[in-house]
Amino acid sequence: QVQVEESGGGSIQTGGSLRLSCTISTNIDSFYCVGWFRQAPGKEREGVAGIGPDGSETYADSVKGRFTLTKDSAKKSLILQMNSLKPEDTGMYYCAASWRNQCNSRAWGQGSVNHYGQGTQVTVSS
């Protein structure tokens, strides 16, 4: 069974930065895509960032230029660096992996994944 664990969320003011970390219990390069999705109360899931086995990165338009996703395949870990945070970035962030959907797919963008963790809360206040 694949295990996914996140850490690093918190509360911060507009314009601040947070770094989210994730470890996955299996070879992350065996997935079509690994990355993060988020969900705010009353809203649909949104794929925030994904990275494929070839290292290609995909970002939601809402976070491009502000968020950066990196991976360390040897450590089975991901880092999501979030800068210039806005109140609309508030939500529960989940580290995730997909056997089926590539990072640039609509499905990933909608948060359709095979495995994800418990999530970590990010709250951005104005």
Query: Would you place residue 35 in the very low, low, confident or very high pLDDT band (cuts 50, 70, 90)?
Result: very high
pLDDT of residue 72: 97
- Residue range 48-55: average pLDDT? 96
Amino acid in position 95: C
Q: 67's torsion region: left (phi>0), alpha (psi -120 to 50) or beta?
A: beta
Rounded to the nearest integer, the mean pLDDT of the chain is 96
Segment among 52-61, 80-89, 94-103, 104-113 with least mean pLDDT: 104-113
Q: What is the dihedral of CA 35, 21, 118, 3, to 10 degrees?
A: 80
CB atoms within 10 A of CB 109: 19
Query: Would you place residue 73 in the very low, low, confident or very high pLDDT band (cuts 50, 70, 90)?
Result: very high
The DSSP secondary-structure symbol of 87 reads G
- Residue range 49-74: average pLDDT? 97
Query: Would you place residue 89 in the very low, low, confident or very high pLDDT band (cuts 50, 70, 90)?
Result: very high
- Residue range 32-43: average pLDDT? 96
